[in-house]
Each structure stands twice: as structure tokens, then as C-alpha cells.
Structure 1
Amino acid sequence: MPYPSPSRIPSGPRRRTLLASAAGVTVLAGCSAGTDPADDGPSATARARARAALDSRGLLARYDAVLAAHPALADRLRPLRAQVAAHAAAFEDGTTRTPAPSASAPKPSAEPVPAREKDAVAGLAAAERALADRRARDLLKAPDEVARLLASVAAAGAAHAYLLAEGAR
């Protein structure tokens, strides 16, 4: 007796595809040993880590804005937000951190959060995807240690984008 076909064919990449992509990014990071030795100094590493930390902090601010505007999304977004915070901390580890802005300091202008939860989540998915793509490109030029970290965080960001996009449907 034949098995019935599934009633719904899942859209988007499957888990195997995401894992294969993550493995491919990791392999690329391992192959980045061809970077220019002159660029592999502490200053290049510090610059790459600081830039990546700043990107993670920007994404973290976006999560915070969505959570402030849509508290009902907290259960769904907090685990992803926590991972983004951990990514920022990992990039900041071993670098000179910039002090947190004081209450009187002007806050950077943030993108407005869409009024509909679905649109806000879709915006987060797009931000995660864009940052993951940029990190995948940047790891090819980054010093080895940072390239490996960028590869890992890019894979996590791609997974976040997928989870957010699937939930926004």
C-alpha cells in the first residue's frame, strides 16, 4: 500500500540544506588561510571584531525595538535575541568595548517598527538575512580567527532568518 503524499510541501530551505550551508561556510572559513599576512595583525583582527560587534549590536537594537512595540512576540523573539546578544559579546571578547551611551547622550535614530506584528517579524528576518550574507562575504577577507567566528555567526543568522520568515507566514 503506497504512502500518501504529504498534504503540504514545505517552502523554503530544509534543515539539511541549512546544515549543509553552514558546513560550507565553515569550510570556507577554514580555507581563508590565504589572507595577506600583513593584514593578519592584531589591528586587522581588532577592526574586524569591532565591526562585527557593532553589526550585532545594531541587530540587537532592532530586536529590542520590535519587542518594545510588540510585547506579545516576546516568547518567540527572546531566544533569538539572546543569541544575537551572545554573538555581540563573542565579537567584543578581547576587544576594547565602547562604553554604553549615557542617558543624556543622543540615541541613534532607529528604523520605525511596523505596526503589524507579521511585518515587524518579516523586517527582522530580512535584517538577519542581510547581515548573515554580509558576514559570509566578509569572512573571506577576515583574519583566520575572526573568519571562523563570522562563519559560525553567519550560519546562525541564516537559521534565524529562516525561523523568522517561516513564522511570519
Structure 2
Amino acid sequence: MPYPPSPRVPPGPRRRSLLASVAGGALLVGCSDGTGSGEEGTAGSPSVVERARARAARDSQGIVGRYDAVLAAHPALAGLLGPLRWEAARHAEAFGAGTAAPTATASPTPTPTPASSPPPASSPPVAVPATEKDALAELAAAERALADRRARALLEVPGELARLLASVAAAGAAHAYLLTEGAR
């Protein structure tokens, strides 16, 4: 013979079920599909995505300017810095900057020329250390800091831009490693 239900358990949904449903509903309401809802600023200001993309483009242009300054001061480093500078210029282009990134038909390891792309007009001149080793170390530190900033920015942007930032941050970390090894 089955036992009758306990008088302490009221019929209907339990408190845990209700709490889980409310929490799940709150999470769904807070989610965005990335189509623009929740991304717009107030009073017609640019969206979070547009601001993040513009900041990433400026940062990439800035690192290209650093590469150009080091190449101008230490032309012997062109073999090491050329491909890294080229990739940094491609990153700027990927974020929508109208930089002097090589065209798609260019070879992947072009011979860089220091004057091929001036740093952005709003950037102050970059001071370059006198020795090649110090210049590489400073450039590696700049790449590492930029990669770290981009990794933190991933949390603030949706989907496609987050993936692009992650990819470029990983490339920047690899650049920092290669520059550190080149300084040895």
C-alpha cells in the first residue's frame, strides 16, 4: 500500500523550481542577439561595437607606427620586424582602419620600408632606444600590453568582434614572444 503524500509538501511547483525559473528568465531577458538591441548608446552616440572597433583600429595603427619608428632607427632589424609589422597593418585593416596595409596580392613577407606607412597623425613621435636589443624589448612590451588590453576587451563586445579581438590578441602575444626571442 502506497503512503499518502507528506502534509508538509504542498501540491504544485516547489520553491526551488520557481526560483530556477525566475533566474533562467532573467538571464534570457538580459541576453542580446547582437543585432543592435542593447548596443546603442544614448542620444545617437556610437554603439559599443563601433567604439571598440575604432579603438582597436587606432591601437593597431599605433603599433604599426612603433614598428616603423624602430625600423627607421634600426634598419638591420627589417628581416625580423618586416613580417610582424605587416601583420599589425593587416590587423588595423581588419578593424576597419584605412591604413597602409599591404594589398591582398602582396607577398606574406614583404620587404618593409620605414616610410611605407607613417604613424597616425594623432600619435606623438615614438622614442626608440639606441640599441637594437632595447628597441626589441620595448616593442615586445608594447605588443604584450596591447594583447592584454584586447583580451580584457573581449568581455565587452559581442560575437564576431570578440572573435576578431581574440585572434588579434593571440597574434600580438605571439609577436611579443618572437620579439623577446629576437632580442636574445
TM more than 0.5: yes
Q: How many residues align?
A: 128
Relative contact order (alpha carbons < 8 A, sep ≥ 6): 1 or 2 greater? Answer: 1
Structure 2 contact 80–182 (Cα < 8 Å) conserved: no
Identity of aligned pairs, percent? Answer: 66
User: Which residue type is aligned with residue 156 of structure 2?
Assistant: K
1:39 aligned counterpart, secondary structure: coil
Give the C-alpha shift of residue 34 in structure 1.
5.5
Corresponding residue of 2:176: 161
Looking at secondary structure, tell me which structure has more helix per residue: 1
Corresponding residue of 2:163: 148
Q: Aligned partners of 2:173 and 2:40: how far apart in 1? A: 27
Q: Aligned partners of 1:129 and 1:58: how far apart in 2? A: 14
Cα deviation, 1:27-67, whole Å, max 9, x if unaligned, reads xxxxxx96695027872222111110000000000000000
Structure number with larger C-alpha Rg: 2
Q: Aligned partners of 1:58 and 1:156: how far apart in 2? A: 16
**Aligned residue among 41, 55, 65 for 1:51:** 55
Unpaired runs of 5+ residues, structure 2, are 1-29, 100-117
TM-score calculated relative to the size of structure 1: 0.68
CA RMSD of aligned residues (A): 2.6
Unpaired runs of 5+ residues, structure 1, are 1-32
Cα deviation, 1:105-156, whole Å, max 9, x if unaligned, reads x763223100000000001100000000000000111122111100000000
Corresponding residue of 2:77: 73
Corresponding residue of 1:27: none
Q: Aligned partners of 1:121 and 1:76: how far apart in 2? A: 10
**Aligned residue among 88, 93, 96 for 2:92:** 88
Corresponding residue of 2:136: 121
